[in-house]
Each structure stands twice: as C-alpha cells, then as structure tokens.
Amino acid sequence: MSGIYVHIPFCKSKCRYCDFASFPDKIGFAESYMACVYREMAKRKSELKNYKFDTLYIGGGTPSVVDENYIAMLVAAAKKNFALSPSAEITIEINPGTVSAGKVAAYKKSGINRFSVGLQTAVDSQLEDIGRIHNLKDFEACARLLKGENFSVDIMIGLKGQSIADIEYSVSVAAGSGASHISMYALTPEDGTPIYTDYLNGEMTDGDEVAEMYGAGVKKLKELGFERYEVSNFCKKGKESKHNLNYWKRGEYIGFGVSASSCINNVRFTNTFDLDEYFKCILSDNFAVIDSEKIDEKGQKEEYIMLALRTVRGINLSEYRRLFGVGFEEEYAATLEKLASFFAKKDGCIFIKPEHLYVQNSIIINFFN
Ligand code: SF4
C-alpha cells in the first residue's frame, strides 16, 4: 500500500498548542503556494510512475481555509500525475470554523470521500483556552453538513482544567455527530508554544490524570460502538483510516508541500519548514528537501516493531519473517520472556494487551538497544 500526503500550511490563527508548519499571516500566498504544490507533483511524476497509490490525504494547517477550487485542482493534479486507485481513500482535514455547504459540495465533487474534523473538545471554554477558532455550535453545524459522509473527529485529552466528565461528554458529542472514526490523543506541550509556558507553570493536567482520562475515554468509546484499532484511534466496524494503516504498516508515502515528509524505497526525506524557502526551491525548479536518510535494515525493523505494536493487531509473525527473513519470536526471545505479562498472541500475531496499550512506549523501548 502507498499514500500521498499534501500539506496546506495556512490557518486563520495559531492555536496555543500548535507547533505544526502553519502560517496564519501568509494566507494571501495560498494561490502561489498551491501552484508550487502542483509543480512539485509534476516534478515527481516520472520517478513514481510505477507506484499505485491507495490514499490521498490533504492535511495541514487548515486545508479548508483555502479556496475550494484550489483543493479540487489539487485532487485533479494528484490524479493526473500519479496512479491513484479509483477506489482511493481521499481525505481532507477540516476545521469547523472554516467550512460551508459550498465547500463540502465542491470537495465531494472533486472526489474527496473522507473528512477529518478537528473538534478537540466539546467544552467551549476549553476550545477558547487552546485558541481554536470554532465553538461547539460550529462543530454541530459542520457535522450537519457532513451527514451521511465518512468522517473522523479529533478529540484531545490533557487540556487545562479538563475532567473525566468533559472527556466523556466530548466523546459522546463526537460519536453522536455521525462520525465513523474518532482519534483521541493526549496534548503534548511542545517547547516554544504558549501552552508550554502553562505547562512550566504547572497549570496543565498531570500524566496520571491524563492516563485516567484516556481510560475513561476508551471505555466510553467502546460503549458507543467504537473499537480501538490503534492506541489513539477508534472506529466503527470497517471504518479504519487507510491513510493511518499505511503509515503503521510501514507502507511507502510521498509528501508534497512545506514540512511534508516522504518514505520511498526506505529513504526518508523531509521538505523545508520555511515557506519562503519552499517557494524559492520549487520556483527555481528544484525540490525543497532539507533532510534525507537511508533507513538500514536495523532501522526498518525498529520502525516496524514500534509502529506495529501501537496497533491492536500487533506484529504479524509471518509478515515479519517475510520482510526480515527471521522469526520475531526467535530474534527477541529474551525481551519477550522478560515482558511476557504485557503481551498476548492470537491469529498469528503478537500484540500488547489492551490494558497496557496506553504505556506502549515504555514497553516498546525494550526492543531497542
Ligand atoms: S488549526 Fe491545526 S495547524 Fe492550524 S494552528 Fe490550529 S493546531 Fe495548528
């Protein structure tokens, strides 16, 4: 499986926790930026001519803040330059504060068949505190526009002043909106963001409370018919995100735009995070790659283990042998013996028991020297 990612680095304003490449003051450059993305795609066409792509993911930033015609042209450019499967999952991230009936209709007409909506919390005072531009009413209006569509909702845990009841409420609002998929992830206070100062001042929810919130959220999601398939991702039956699955299976992907990363043929490369630099590179007919790394077999194994153990399915033992020519259980016999109480085995897969999935990082680290 392989995927295409496109980064749209514009937002109406900067959320207080955000360290993504997004430039609210540069939205006036959206048209020129999109022209550069189309150009970058055309430039990669010949090297990717043998690839079949199963997913296209338009993320950001806030893709829904730019003119819907640019998005339609973007989908058309992806289809023109690459072998995008007719049944491809084509997702766009949308912010409830920037969507309209006209936009949703244009997205659907262009071939977009999945939407990812950033709710984050259903509590208005918390939305305000993290600097989101929308409130709960905007989300409800957005959900009405998406009625009958395949859409996902993002929820955050660990916000300032958030309680378990708030998590249960947010999860219920997301589930009741008609979403088929919910991502529930913990806020990480990134250095350099305003929320990092709150964290240094001891104002953020502490780790143990976040773990309790996660547990409560998982329980509520289960009651509401959402099955967990990865530590932070839950869905109705058969509604897993193909884009996410490709990533967790170490599938190949190509990224376009500022800060987008790619992994093709075990070479990982990342575009510049600097918008001006991106323009300069693409307009002078170069790529905008700032970092490139060949992943050796040890690195491939480590990534495979790390990503697969985030999923409920875990490591498929025959797939591991096929990929690396050695049995996972033989190779890591001592580690598996030491950590036996955390693991279970079923249908040819080894996985972290559900009750330990939240602390998967501290378990997985044992597999690496
Ligand atoms: S909408 Fe997303 S990308 Fe934009 S500022 Fe907020 S968190 Fe960052």
- Do 352 and 219 lie in one domain? The reply is no
Q: Is 11 in the pocket of ligand 1 (CB under 6 A)?
A: yes
For residue 120 and ligand 1, the question of a CB distance below 6 A is answered with no
Please tell me whether residues 17 and 100 are part of one structural domain: yes
Q: Is residue 47 part of a domain?
A: yes
CB of 214 within 8 A of CB of 44? no
User: With a 6 A CB cut-off, is 95 part of the ligand 1 pocket?
Assistant: yes
Determine the distance separating the centroid of ligand 1 and the alpha carbon of 92, expressed in angstroms. Answer: 14
Q: Are residues 215 and 83 in the same domain?
A: yes
Spacing, Cα 184 to ligand 1 middle (Å): 16
Cβ–ligand 1 distance for 14 under 6 Å, the answer yes
**Tokens 């309790």 label which residue?**
212
CA-nearest residue, atom 2 of ligand 1 = 61
Residue corresponding to tokens 């992907």: 253
Indicate which CATH number applies to the domain containing 43. Answer: 3.20.20.70
Which residues, in sequence order, are CB contacts of 286 under 8 Å at separation 6+? none
* Cβ atoms < 10 Å from Cβ of 365: 9
Of 193, 226, 247, the residue at which a domain comes to its end is: 247
pLDDT tens per residue, range 145-184:
999 999 999 999 999 999 999 999 999 999 999 999 999 9
Task: Give yes or no for residue 369 having a pLDDT over 90.
Answer: no
Cα–Cα distance measured from residue 141 to residue 36, given in angstroms and rounded to the nearest whole number: 33
Question: Which pLDDT value is given to residue 196?
Answer: 94
Instruction: Give, rounded to a whole angstrom, the gap between the first and last alpha carbons of the chain.
Output: 30
* Selection from 7, 11, 185 nearest residue 97 by Cα: 11
Q: Is 325 in the same domain as 214? A: no
* pLDDT, tens digit (0-9, with 9 covering 90-100), for 333-367: 999 999 999 999 999 999 999 999 999 999 999 99
**Mutation choice for ligand 1 from 62, 95, 258, CB with most ligand atoms inside 8 A:** 62
- C-beta of 311 in contact with ligand 1 (< 6 A): no
Same structural domain, 88 and 217: yes
Domain that holds residue 74: 2-247
pLDDT in tens, 305-324: 999 999 999 999 999 999 99
* 118: pLDDT strictly greater than 90: yes
Residue 301 has pLDDT above 90, yes or no: yes
Other C-beta atoms within 10 Å of 324: how many? 14
Q: Is residue 344 part of a domain?
A: yes
> Distance between CA atoms of 288 and 272, rounded to whole angstroms?
6
Under DSSP, the state recorded for 311 is B
C-alpha 240/C-alpha 344 separation (Å) is 22
Residue 363 belongs to some domain of the structure: yes
Please name which of 99, 105, 11, 5 lies closest in space to residue 55, comparing C-alpha atoms.
5
Evaluate whether residue 286 is within a structural domain.
no
β-pair type (261-264, 267-271) = antiparallel
Statement to judge: residues 351 and 204 lie in one domain: no
Asked whether residue 95 falls in the same domain as residue 182, the answer is: yes
Q: Do 170 and 21 belong together in one domain?
A: yes
Q: Which SS3 state, helix, strand or coil, does residue 300 take?
A: helix
Backbone angles phi, psi at 57, to 5 degrees: -125, 120
- What's phi and psi for 49, nearest 5 deg? -65, -20
> Do 6 and 110 have their domain in common?
yes
Structure tokens at 67: 């003119």
Ligand 1 in reach of 97 Cβ (< 6 A)? no
| 180/307 Cα distance (integer angstroms) | 23
How many domains is the chain built from? 2
Same domain, residue pair 236 and 316: no
Whether 102 and 235 map to the same domain: the answer is: yes
Mean pLDDT over residues 200-213, rounded? Answer: 91
Any domain includes 24: yes
Q: Say if 304 falls within a structural domain.
A: no
Is the same domain home to 320 and 234? no
Which residue owns the Cα nearest ligand 1 atom 6? 15
- Would you state the pLDDT for residue 206? 85
117 lines ligand 1 (CB under 6 A): no
What's CA 216's distance to the chain center, in Å?
A: 22
> Which residue's CA is the nearest one to ligand 1's atom 5?
14
- Tell me how far apart the alpha carbons of residues 194 and 197 are, in angstroms, rounded to a whole number: 5
Å from CA of 14 to ligand 1 middle: 6
Q: Per the domain annotation, does 263 fall within a domain?
A: no
Long-range contacts of 289-294, Cβ-Cβ distance < 8 Å, separation of 24 or more: 292/267, 292/268, 293/267, 293/268, 293/269, 294/266, 294/267
Does 10 sit in the ligand 1 pocket, CB within 6 Å? no
Question: Phi, psi (5° rounding) for residue 345?
Answer: -135, 135
- The answer to whether residue 268 is domain-embedded is no
Token readout for 348 is 């040819």
> What pLDDT is attached to residue 205?
87
Interval between CA 20 and ligand 1 midpoint (Å): 7
Asked whether 39 lines ligand 1 (CB < 6 A), one says: no
Domain boundary among 210, 232, 247: 247
User: Atom of ligand 1 at shortest distance to CA of 19?
Assistant: 8
Among residues 247, 265, 300, which one ends one of the domains?
247
